[in-house]
Structure 1
Amino acid sequence: MKNSLLRLVLVLFTLSFYAQSEKVAIVKDGKGIRLEVDGKPFIVNGINWDYVPIGYNVLDAKFWEKPDDIIKAGLDEEMALWQNMGVNAIRTYIGMPPKWITYIYENFGIYTMINHQFGAYGLTLDGVWYPKTKYGTEKVRKHLIEASVKMANLYKNTPGLLLFMLGNENNYHLTWEGAETDEGIVINDQDKAKRAEARAMYKLFNDAALAMKAVDKNHPIGICNGDLLYLDIVAQECKDLDIYGTNMYRGVSFYDAFDKVKKEFNKPILFTEFGSDAYNARDNKEDQLMQAYYMVNNWKEIYANSYGLGKAENSIGGFTFQSSDGWFKAGFDERKNADIHDTKASWPSNGYSRDQAKPGDKNMNEEWFGIAAKGPTDIRGLYTLYPRAAYYALKEVHKFNPFKSNATEFENHFKNINLMDAVLRARGDKASVGGTEKISLTNLRAEFTTFNTGGSLIKTPNVADGTGQTYPNKLGFDHMQSYYIGVQGKPTNNMKAEVNFNILGNVAGNPIDDIFYENVGRPIQVDTPDGVVTLTDNNRLRVYNAEFEWNAKGFDMRGFYRTGHYHWGYEGDFFGLYPEANYGPNLDIYNGEILGMEVDGKGVLSGLKAAFGPQLWWGANPAVLLKYQRKIAGLDFSAVYHKDLVSGNGIDENGNRILDPAQTRTGVIPFLPTERATIAFEKKGTHFGFQLGAIWAGRPLNGRTFQVATGTSGNYIVYNDRINSKDNWGVKLK
């Protein structure tokens, strides 16, 4: 009996021991700085990880809200993949339940670094959304400190927790707005106002870390900074932080990053994001060898500067960016195109010269950073990953143990990594999933609608008269059949087009509201030599909408038919000459049309943009618009020119519009044509900004008569006048 009790106590003690969170610490000695987990040295071989199926984004994927069996299935497949690569830690954000941190650790030996964004992309306070976080205000300070402490309390005793991270490039977001990378704003680390904001932010980081340490003393706390921007302020204000985390995209080398952090901050450096995308912007194709080349060289430097290997000796590892492609990124701020694998480079980095034709060219493809390609989503919301060459190369990289090796062994290890072998292994594993499809079916939809018309005191007949000219045409039930088929062609990586067709079956004749897209298929009557004939099969097959995109070396071109476009208001169009053309369901209800093309210049034509077409927005005249943007003496300068291409636009001696014979005969008279040109200057500041612009309204209306009435009821005076050239000018200040 005593032996049984002893065994029971031993089992309970063992279970209690394994259920406790491990002690994680930063250790410094004569050989440098290292991370330790329960007294054992630990190099972070990490990866940035999320679970976002194609067609979703990080907000609506909601992986952790799915049933446990689906979460488990997703984790079992992915974590086994990363375990095989040698990953020992993942980086993810708050929202991951503690039990799944433990599940991943106990089943795959992978730790989790949990990350709080700390207001990087804005903040909701008292139910109000603020796109930019003001870190110096007391309300924001209180909110973020409480949120950080809440995170520490939630995760502190979680087996598998490695450490806490606060923020994500918050220093960049003092200037940027939104979640997409903004390459159009120059970040000046000598701007006094920005440095004051940064100081308030880093002080808050430190205060939050102190509050967290009062709750959890077993897990280090770091910040995630963008590169080394404001490192001097970090060193002054963040003395209680344990780790300097950084997102750094410098290309093949981190250069002086290790030495600078050692000299100015003397804390361990952890690379929270780094790496390369797998799309070659110069050649417009996937380039797995290029991605593997940058990844391996980055990791080589991370290890070379780790504990005891003779260089800076302050590197504790990194988190490769990222596990799989983020299809949602290019259109995230507008919550669109999450099902399109965008190939347009969004910002330039000269450190990645292998896919630049010349320095300054945009070459960073946000949606292609995955070291694994993402497969289609199944009925449970899960998908399969297809490792790229970088996966197999990093598998060899992570076999290196810096704590059991010397400098010579380190050099030999990396010398023996064969990148082409990794490329060949990836080809065999179908990493370029879907890359060879030239034609694909993108849409297949059927809509069936039933209508019932009835009531009292109405004149609608019980039976339709067969002419199709009276609506509603009968009482009782009728139905509608409308089918949609979409086809996409992708002849090359930099060119794609999609056409959606509408096929009509039966068109209901009894709806009370007769304004709807399918009503063009209703019967019509025409006069013929043999009398009136009723046509019943009208518009049975139509192009519903279409678009194309061509990303060439010198320009990007987009064409649209009933798919819409955004305005140029955020691109220097101060007077709104080019309006938005996204009309939602109204375009269908009223059978509206928009048709045109946009062209963005690149290289020597950078800053130039054009739009032209027969109807760029609903009801527009055929027109051409040109826009040019650049910086002049620290100001954002823009110029826009708009001209309608319409015949019959003269004015006679009486001030009346002259129509051409076709317009007079048909009665189809377009809107009054216009010609306009604008210039604008803009300056953005922290507390103050301004926009100043001038407009010339053009010549087409000069000479046209107009009337102005003044006075009061019963005593009006009507003046007749004509538009002349001095009326064409205007100025606007905001």
Structure 2
Amino acid sequence: MKIHISILILFILTACKSEGISNKVSVAGRNVHVNDSAYLIKGICYHPVPKGSSERNFETLSQDLDLMNEAGINTIRLYSPLDDITVLDKINEAGIKVIVSFGYNQKGYFDILSGTFIDYINKYKSHPAILFWELGNEYNYHPEWFEGDVKNWYNALNEATKLIHERDLFHPVATAHGELPDSLALSVCTDIDIWGMNVYRWDNPEKLFSEWKRISDKPMYLSEAGADSYMTIARSGYEQGENQIAQADATRKILDATFRNQDVCMGVTLFAFVDEFWKAGNLDTQDPGGWAPNSSGVPYDGSPNEEYWGIVDINRNKKEAFLVVKEKYNNLVGVN
């Protein structure tokens, strides 16, 4: 047995060297390990779109990375592939890892439907910034995209996962599921390594972790959680209108609940880094409103004002929630 283990270790090390992999990411129990050390995700969802535009743009990357480092953020979750090695290099130089997401149908741009997502993985799998790959973002809310049957998505998801496993031995595969996966999702998607969950349960996701522990022994993390900084109505002692205190209070409680449950949950990518003016109205102004599926659990008004989710505003001014993230992430003693 010792000989076999030694041969396996030698094979992995040799393969890493031949592939140019400097960071081997693996699943161990309910955790993800980077080079054999447990990795706790202290993350943020990142989709920087300038005022007046609807397109992602990384012109403010250096400023954003400085703010992320200040806040103790170690992981960025991207909603679509980033085909720019200079940007990935800067993120890596800042000591931050990246979760790269692939959509199902992105008109052939590294998507699952065309199969071109695997081209991206082949191109960037040796890049040290990559933490793991992620397929889809709460597609279970949209069976209409899959001929009215969400099982078609789950089948495509699992087949794509198998293909990644064939091509990349050194990074796990996740999906970002809307809420807790049901028995159908778990029975079809057996090859998924990590379950991300977009969860909006007011200011307390605590029950989710025990629910997951009962149905699966795989790693999970909160791929989205958080609160916006606008109150559509006055409620729970918070005034109507822009309200950074409401956002900060909810963020504090969500992060506390998450990190109390590290035996089950390997972290969170808080939604989101910066306000997004493109989601609800005029591209040049910040507008209340917008829409998100299954979002009645948004604290504290049950209403997702889509342009107000950043922990910094469009000009990179820190909101009250930024200070909460900075306190919580930097005070997690003994973790990366």
Distance 1:219 1:354 in 2: 37
Higher helix proportion: 2
**Cα deviations by residue, 1:223-261 (Å, 9 ceiling, x for unpaired):** 111112x52112101111110011111111114322222
- The change in CA–CA distance for 1:402 and 1:251 in structure 2 (over 3 A counts) is farther
Unaligned runs of 5+ in 2: 1-16, 234-238
Task: Report whether the alignment pairs 1:55 with 2:24.
Answer: no
Structure 2 residue aligned with 1:354, among 272, 295, 300? 300
2: CA distance, partners of 1:143 / 1:242 = 18
* Contact 1:292–1:393 (Cα < 8 Å) also in 2: yes
Q: Identity over aligned residues, as a percent? A: 26
Q: CA deviation at 1:175?
A: 4.3
**In structure 2, how many angstroms separate the alpha carbons of the residues matched to 1:21 and 1:170?**
33
Distance 1:286 1:398, change over 3 A: same
Letter of the structure 2 residue corresponding to residue 338 of structure 1: L
Verify: 1:292 aligned to 2:229, yes or no.
no
Partner residue, 1:530:
none
AA matched with 2:135: L
What is the TM-score normalised by the length of structure 1?
Answer: 0.40
Aligned to 1:111: 97
Deviation at 1:277, TM superposition (A): 0.2
Letter in 2 for 1:329: K
Asked if 1:369 corresponds to 2:309, the answer is yes
Relative to its length, the structure with more strand (as a share) is: 1
* Aligned pair partner of 1:169 in 138, 158, 167: 138
For residues 200 and 143 of structure 1, do their structure 2 counterparts lie closer, same or farther at Cα, with a shift above 3 Å needed?
same
1:81 equivalent in alignment to 2:67: yes
| Structure 2 equivalent of residue 201 of structure 1 | 153
Q: Give the 3-state SS of the residue equivalent to 1:387 in structure 2.
A: coil
Deviation at 1:349, TM superposition (A): 5.0
The 3 A distance-change label for structure 1 pair 353 and 88 is closer
Higher RCO (C-alpha under 8 Å, 6+ residues apart): 2
Q: Is the 8 Å Cα contact of residues 148 and 212 (structure 1) preserved in structure 2?
A: no
TM-score (norm 2): 0.84
Q: 2:32 aligns with which of 32, 35, 40?
A: 35
State the match for 1:391 in structure 2.
322
Is the partner of 1:270 in helix, strand or coil? strand
CA offset at residue 124 of structure 1?
3.6
Kindly state the Cα deviation for residue 144 of structure 1 after the two structures are TM-superposed: 2.7
- Encode CA deviations 1:139-167: one digit per residue, 9 max, x unaligned: xxx96372232221121011111111110
Instruction: Evaluate the alpha carbon distance shift between residue 365 and residue 41 of structure 1 in structure 2; reply closer, same or farther with a 3 A threshold.
Output: same
Figure out how many residues of one structure are paired with residues of the other and give that number.
Answer: 310
Match of 2:287 among 320, 342, 361: 342
The residue aligned with 2:198 is 247
Unaligned runs of 5+ in 1: 1-15, 65-70, 128-141, 178-192, 307-312, 332-336, 356-361, 376-384, 405-734
Residue 216 (str. 1) matches residue 168 (str. 2): yes
AA at the equivalent of 1:51: P
Q: Output the amino acid matched with 2:321.
A: A
Q: Is the 8 A contact 1:251 1:349 kept in 2?
A: no
Matching residue within 41, 45, 48 for 2:42:
45
> Counterparts of 1:353 and 1:153 in 2: how far apart (Å)?
41
* Matched ranges for 1:459-474 at <5 A: none
C-alpha deviations, 1:186-232, integer Å up to 9, x for none?
Answer: xxxxxxx95xx22221121111111011111111110111112x521
Please give the residue correspondences for 1:612-651 in structure 2 after superposition, counting only pairs within 5 Å: none
Q: CA RMSD in A?
A: 2.6
Distance in 2 (alpha carbons) for counterparts of 1:266 and 1:171: 21
C-alpha distance in 1, partners of 2:114/2:208? 29
* Equivalent runs, 1:295-444 vs 2, <5 Å: 295-306=251-262, 313-331=263-281, 337-344=282-289, 346=291, 349=295, 351-352=297-298, 354-355=300-301, 363-375=303-315, 385-401=316-332
**Structure 2 residue 192 is matched with structure 1 residue 236:** no
- Counterpart of 1:97 in structure 2: which amino acid? D
Which residue does the alignment assign to 1:642? none
- 1:18-33 correspondence to structure 2 within 5 Å: 20-28=21-29, 33=30
Contact map agreement 2:42 2:329 (CA 8 A) in 1: yes
Query: Residue 37 of structure 1 aligns to which amino acid in structure 2?
Result: V
Residues 243 and 388 of structure 1: is their aligned pair in 2 closer, same or farther, counting only changes over 3 Å?
same
Question: Structure 1 residues 400 and 143 mapped into 2: Cα distance closer, same or farther (>3 Å)?
Answer: closer
State the distance in 1 between where 2:64 and 2:225 align.
21
Measured against aligned partners, the alpha-carbon deviations of 1:598-640 in whole angstroms (never above 9, x if no partner) come to xxxxxxxxxxxxxxxxxxxxxxxxxxxxxxxxxxxxxxxxxxx
Per-residue CA deviations over 1:327-370 (Å, capped at 9, x if unaligned) read: 00014xxxxx2112112364685544633xxxxxx622011000
